[in-house]
């Protein structure tokens, strides 16, 4: 969604205040951005109509508190969607249904998955939260989430002419060779959260 400069500026200011641990108010933004209250109100109401922001008027002279919606968090780059669990073992069924948002810095194309299985151990462990990027073509040997006949898995990916080779990290699992036309790369691995870091990320998951 493309926003006019004024609305984008307001959205980013709300996101920055939330990142700093504050509950932003319309009064805060008036002072912070140097806008007239009426101008700010127009921007806030426009963002609310677009489903990016919620306004909570205090009434009786009290400040209006602001909250970003899940769509607003994503657009502001302050969240990554968690789309479910992905097996790192044999090809299994996986559903890309957004379960919520992880309060982590994001950008368009990034999404998170929880690893299940052990074919990528000790590199990726069950329970790890992995963040992958939709769009880029994987380099030779990069880890990627790949989709084949309704099933998804995490593997090292090697593109070899008309075929795709999917290689596990765990030697107990076989390497799989498939026709390239039958395989869709859903996202290339970017980073992971493990242990306490992963638990904290899941604990602050914003339910949709």
Q: What is the pLDDT of residues 3-19, one digit of tens each?
A: 999 999 999 999 888 87
CATH number of the domain bearing residue 150: 2.10.109.10
Q: Return all residues near 202 (Cβ < 8 A) that are at least 6 apart.
A: 102, 114, 129
pLDDT at 208 over 70: no
Whether residues 110 and 185 share a domain: the answer is yes
Let me know if 155 is a catalytic residue: yes
Do 12 and 93 have their domain in common?
A: no
Do 152 and 111 fall within a single domain?
yes
Active-site residue, selected from the candidate residues 12, 49, 50, 119: 119
- Identify whether residues 22 and 124 lie together within a single domain: no
pLDDT computed for residue 80 by the predictor: 87
Most confident of 20-34, 43-57, 90-104: 43-57
How much is the average pLDDT of 110-122?
A: 87
Q: Are residues 124 and 191 in the same domain?
A: yes
CA-based nearest residue to 23, from 66, 54, 79, 78? 66
Q: What is the pLDDT of residue 13?
A: 93
The domain of 87 spans 80-207
Count of domains in the chain? Answer: 2
Which of 15, 40, 75 terminates a domain? The answer is 75
Tell me the mean pLDDT in the region 21-41.
Answer: 90
Shared domain for 38 and 87, answered yes or no, is no
pLDDT band of 93, cuts 50, 70, 90: very low
What is the per-residue pLDDT for 1?
75
0.75 surpassed by pTM: no
**What residues pair up with 167 in beta bridges, in sequence order?**
156
Predicted local confidence at residue 138, as pLDDT = 93
Same domain, 98 and 190: yes
Question: Of 23, 49, 155, 167, which one is the catalytic site residue?
Answer: 155
- One domain, residues 31 and 51: yes
Question: Is 23 tagged catalytic?
Answer: no
The answer on 198 and 127 residing in a single domain is: yes
Q: What is the distance between the alpha carbons of residues 8 and 22, in angstroms, rounded to a whole number?
A: 19
Show which of 38, 56, 75 is a domain's final residue: 75
Burial of 153 by CB count in 10 Å (0-12 exposed, 13-18 middle, 19+ buried)?
A: buried
Under 8 Å between Cβ of 147 and 159: no
């Amino acid at each position: 969604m493309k926003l006019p400069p004024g609305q984008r500026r307001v959205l980013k200011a709300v996101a920055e205040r939330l990142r700093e641990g504050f509950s932003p108010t319309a009064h805060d933004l008036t002072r912070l951005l140097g806008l007239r209250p009426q101008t700010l109100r127009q921007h806030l109401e426009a963002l609310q109509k677009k489903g990016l922001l919620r306004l909570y008027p205090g009434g009786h002279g009290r400040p209006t508190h602001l909250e970003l919606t899940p769509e607003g968090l994503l657009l502001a780059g302050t969240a990554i969607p968690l789309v479910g669990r992905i097996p790192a073992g044999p090809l299994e069924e996986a559903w890309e249904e957004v379960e919520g948002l992880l309060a982590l810095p994001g950008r368009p194309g990034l999404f998170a998955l929880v690893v299940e299985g052990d074919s990528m151990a000790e590199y990726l462990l069950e329970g790890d939260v992995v963040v992958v990027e939709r769009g880029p073509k994987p380099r030779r040997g990069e880890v990627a989430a790949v989709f084949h006949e309704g099933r998804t898995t995490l593997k090292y990916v090697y593109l070899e002419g008309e075929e795709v080779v999917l290689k596990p990290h765990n030697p107990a699992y076989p390497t799989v060779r498939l026709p390239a036309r039958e395989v869709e790369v859903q996202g290339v691995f970017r980073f992971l959260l493990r242990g306490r870091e992963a638990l904290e990320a899941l604990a602050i998951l914003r339910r949709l």
